[in-house]
Structures are given as structure tokens and as C-alpha cells.
A and B are shown apart, each in its own frame.
Chain A
Amino acid sequence: EPEVTQTPSHQVTQMGQEVILRCVPISNHLYFYWYRQILGQKVEFLVSFYNNEISEKSEIFDDQFSVERPDGSNFTLKIRSTKLEDSAMYFCASSIWREGDEQYFGPGTRLTVT
């Protein structure tokens, strides 16, 4: 069964460093998402991406964040200058259609900023 994959599973970085979290969505999906979950808190929407552009972003997704689909398979989330409060589990998701479709989630990348 096709699945969303994410690498790395765990990333440790120092404050101020840039990180890139990588995702490979399911191949025939058209809509892509990033969510994050700070330890002990709810899963929060960051950004959605369709047709090579951001379709919606949350207030969390400030200028330090960017997303890219550099080729036909990868979908990346970049944090330019990490802060301690960026420590969280980051989930990538994808779906085929937009309206009411199931979003398939990857296993997540745990980002630890020290």
C-alpha cells in the first residue's frame, strides 16, 4: 500500500541553524500539507501546497518557513533559522483531491532544537 515517507525520523540542530525536512508524498496525490505537533499539544496546520504554490498558510508559517517541491516526488519544509520553540514533530500529508478527501500522513520528523 502506498504511503507517505519522511526523512529524517529525528533531527537535532542548534538554534539559528537551517533545517530541511523532507517528505515523499504518495505518487498520484496533488495536494500536500505540513503540520506540526509540539510535545503534549495538538496537531497544528502549517501550510498547504497545490500546483507548485502555497494555497494556504497559518500564522505559524512566518518568513522563517518555506516549502518547495523541487522535483516530481519530494516535498520539503525549510526552517531558515531555527528557534527553541520550533522543536516539535513535523508531519507531512498528501491527498488526491481537495474536497473531503482523506489526508495521508507520514510518520513524522522529530525536530529538536538545542
Chain B
Amino acid sequence: AQSVTQLDSQVPVFEEAPVELRCNYSSSVSVYLFWYVQYPNQGLQLLLKYLSGSTLVKGINGFEAEFNKSQTSFHLRKPSVHISDTAEYFCAVSDNTGFQKLVFGTGTRLLVSP
């Protein structure tokens, strides 16, 4: 079984500052990794995913994440945040067998202030 840990429940940051949202996972098999964003009163939107290949993955809205197999991490980064990035961010994993259910972390609320 897989599990995902997002240690930071909330990350406050000023506009135009860099940010890193941490994600660690646990799995006995190979996994696929995802970051989803949830804006208030909306569904989940995929930011980026790692399936294989290059460990640095670029996504939408200027976000990127790096897969580190030895540290079982998949941290999300953005070099300069905007007010509009204020949202809940979820890290998720699925294994490469079965029917690809997503296992989510508890989420990190990114609060961007001016």
C-alpha cells in the first residue's frame, strides 16, 4: 500500500517569493506521482505528474517538481508566487498496477499575501 505525507498543513508566503511544498511518499512498488491544486469551491486540477524519465517535471502555472527516489520525495516548487496561487495543494501517488487509484496526502494550504 502507498501513503503520502505532506508535513506542512499551511505555508504562508509573500507575493513574488519562492515557495517549496514538501511531499514524501511510501510504497513497496514503483509509483507515479502527481500534484493537484484545489481552488476554493472547485474540483482538483492537475498541476504536473511524474511517470518516468527526467526527474524534474514542469507543470502549469510555472510550477515544477523534482522526483527523488532515494529520499522518496516529490517536492513542488515555484520561483515566484502570485496572489492567485493561493489554494490547497495535494500530492498524490498511484502504483503502476491495478486501476490507478490515487492516494492523496492531507494537503498544504498555500497562502500568498501582498
Contact = CB atoms under 8 A, between A and B. Distances in A.
Contacts of B100: 31, 48, 95, 98-101, 103
Interface of A: 4, 31, 33, 35, 41-45, 48, 50, 55-56, 58, 91, 93, 95, 98-108
9 contacts: A42-B90, A43-B92, A43-B102, A56-B98, A91-B43, A91-B44, A95-B100, A103-B46, A107-B42
B99 A42 contact: no
A55 B66 CA distance: 31
Given A31-B100, A48-B101, A56-B98, 17 more contacts: A4-B43, A33-B101, A33-B102, A42-B104, A42-B107, A43-B90, A43-B107, A48-B100, A55-B99, A95-B100, A98-B100, A99-B96, A100-B51, A100-B100, A102-B34, A102-B49, A103-B46
Contact of A42 (B34, B101, B105): B105
Contacts, number: 63
Interface of B: 32, 34, 36, 41-46, 49, 51, 90, 92, 94, 96, 98-107
Contact of B102 (A35, A107, A108): A35
